[in-house]
Amino acid sequence: MKNEKHMVFACVDGSSLSEAVCDYAAWIVKRIDSPLKLLHTIDHHHEKGEVADLSGNLGVDSADHLLEEMVSHEQQQSKLRLQQGKAILQEAKQRVIQDGVVDPIVCLRHGSLIESLIELENNIRILVIGVRGKVHENQTRQIGAKLESLIRSLHRPILVVCTEYKLPERIMVAYDGSEAAEKAVEMVANSPLYSELECHLVCAGKKASAEGLLEKAAEKLKKSGDKEIFIARLDGKPEEKLCEYQETHNIDLTIMGAFTHTRIHDLLLGSFTVKMLINSKKPLLLLR
């Protein structure tokens, strides 16, 4: 039986980004030699709430009749969602097999995605998910409704995919001297996922105190293997300058800490992480 500890998880929902989620998950799995689990969830909570609300204002006989119809309708909808979920997972499985993944695991769970991932967190090595799901896939100026809560709830690396797959050749570490930034440097230095990839260590915004740490971080990366290291210090709004740097230098993947400020700070000034999720045109690997 396959060991399900520390697996790569890929969340698929049949949206336009699901194929890219599969492709990036396959890329990770092949580089770090980890099992892959494809996850799809079916949340029935909303439908059950509607039955109670609609029946409350009717007479007993009418309510009983309507409830019977609604229960029958709910059962049909549940069966359809189950069939759709199995089809989505089967399609995803075929996709990653074509990408070279051996024996991927499929997992269909009932309940909310966030609750499912919290329960599975101890088994997650890296989570791969689209920036928007099926419901919001055409709304390019916003992120998925539950994505922020999901990222805040988990303490595992999360790769958020926002575009079709491209084989990563150049990565950028968004560095600000924080604990999360140091964690990102350590991960890049020691993981086979990033070996031999061109690495850009970029500090954006007024982070003068981080300059000495930036040099030390660069030295750590230089000692870690056969990869080219570039350093950049950028003035201006971090989310704007980092996204500009992505475009200018053809960065394929950005690694950064997520939600490193307090919720009050994010509420008053806006969340840097959310701004990056909205503005970035390349995948973000987020660390908590």
Mean pLDDT, range 155-175, rounded to an integer: 96
Please check whether residue 192 lies inside any domain of the structure.
yes
Residue 214 lies inside a defined structural domain of this protein: yes
- Classify each residue of 54-69 as buried b or exposed e, where b means 16 or more C-beta atoms within 10 Å of its C-beta: eeeeeeeeeeeeebee
Answer whether residue 238 is part of any domain: yes
Element (H, E) at 36: strand 36-42
Would residue 40 count as lying in a domain? Answer: no
Tell me how many domains the chain contains: 1
Residue in the block written with tokens 């604990």: 179
CATH code, 211: 3.40.50.620
Q: What was the pLDDT predicted at 208? A: 55
**pTM for the predicted model, two decimal places:** 0.86
Q: Mean pLDDT, to the nearest integer, of 70-93?
A: 87
Q: What is the amino acid identity at position 108?
A: L
Full domain range(s) for residue 210: 170-287
SS3 264: helix
Name the band, by pLDDT with cuts 50, 70 and 90, for residue 223: confident
The SS3 assignment for 107 reads: strand
Residue 55 scores a pLDDT above 60? no
pLDDT at 263: 55
